[in-house]
Amino acid sequence: MIELRTPAEIEAMKPAGEFVASTLTALHQRATVGMNLLELDKIAHRLIRERGAESCYLDYAPSFGSGPFGYVLCTSVNDAVLHGKPHSYSLQDGDLLTLDFAASVDGWVADSAISFVVGTPDPRDLALIDATERALAAAIEVAVVGNKTGDLSHAIGSVAADAGLSVNLEFGGHGVGRTMHGDPHVANDGRQGRGYPLREGLVIAIEPWFMQSTDKLVTAADGWTLKSADGSRTAHSEHTIAITADGPIVLTQRAE
């Protein structure tokens, strides 16, 4: 079911967005060469506890995962792109890391993801990250009342095509509210003018994720982490936004 939020409810969602954004900023700063992924998860867990928030991941057990996730942060490294389950791995110079984080504050959820290179960057990795960020910005630009979800999908897919990237359609954006995943689905490619109408009060997570040289995924042995089928690098950018009469509000906007 697709739910529309009142202006007061969107205002009430802002603290969740601010907390998710500030947590990702803090984790980005801590994710240096030698940092263990499990330590990053512990930091996120501490920040959740200090804020009085709730994790959306800890006991999450959807059909596409293998049992409860068990952690509060998704950590996807290099060829891993989605649902990266934290494990004992110390970050190496040049690793491409994606952090995906969702939390609930006062009963409202926000969801966001960032990708960045730890240590010395490879220009190809930076170009891939830039493509996801440009795709996210392009989708947000057309996230206005009167357009449709297909317009968001087309904006994302057009950036991918211009960058020479193919797009996987198995996972994409989604509604956000009292729970982390809801309707409507927002694919990362599609046709303009198709799909669900963007109405005032709709809150969605838009999340372009690309792989350098494939559109096929494989699941790691942990039953959760999704990787590129050919081992190529991956990147993922995500924001939770609210559709309003005055344009989109990025609830998970991070400080520069």
Q: Is residue 89 part of a domain?
A: yes
Q: How many domains does the chain have?
A: 1
pLDDT at site 185: 97
Determine, yes or no, domain membership for 204.
yes
What span, in angstroms and rounded, lies between the C-alpha atoms of 187 and 196?
12
Query: What distances in angstroms separate CA 194 from CA 115, 152, 153, 175, 206, one per listed residue?
Result: 29, 10, 9, 17, 17
The pLDDT value recorded for residue 79 is 98
Question: Could you tell me if residue 2 is inside a domain?
Answer: no
Structure tokens at 41: 């998860």
Do the domain assignments include residue 28? yes
Phi, psi for 227 (deg, rounded to 5): -125, 160
Annotated binding site: 83, 100, 111, 174, 181, 207, 238
Residue 63 pLDDT: 87
Give the span between the Cα atoms of 108 and 53, in whole angstroms.
10
Q: 214, 198, 194: which is closest to 206 by C-alpha?
A: 198
Within-domain flag for 256: no
Would you list the DSSP string of 15-56? HHHHHHHHHHHHHHHH--TT-BHHHHHHHHHHHHHHHT-EES
Domain of residue 218 covers: 7-250
**Residue-wise pLDDT tens digits, 30-64:** 999 999 999 999 999 999 999 999 999 999 998 88
Q: Which residues are documented as binding site for a divalent metal cation? A: 100, 111, 174, 207, 238
Q: What pLDDT score was predicted for residue 245?
A: 97
**233 lies in some domain:** yes
> What's 218's domain CATH number?
3.90.230.10
Which of 42, 100, 40 minimizes the C-alpha distance to 235? 100
> For 106-130, what is each residue's pLDDT tens digit?
999 999 999 999 999 999 999 999 9
Give the residues of the chain that fall short of pLDDT 50. Answer: none
Binding-site positions for substrate: 83, 181
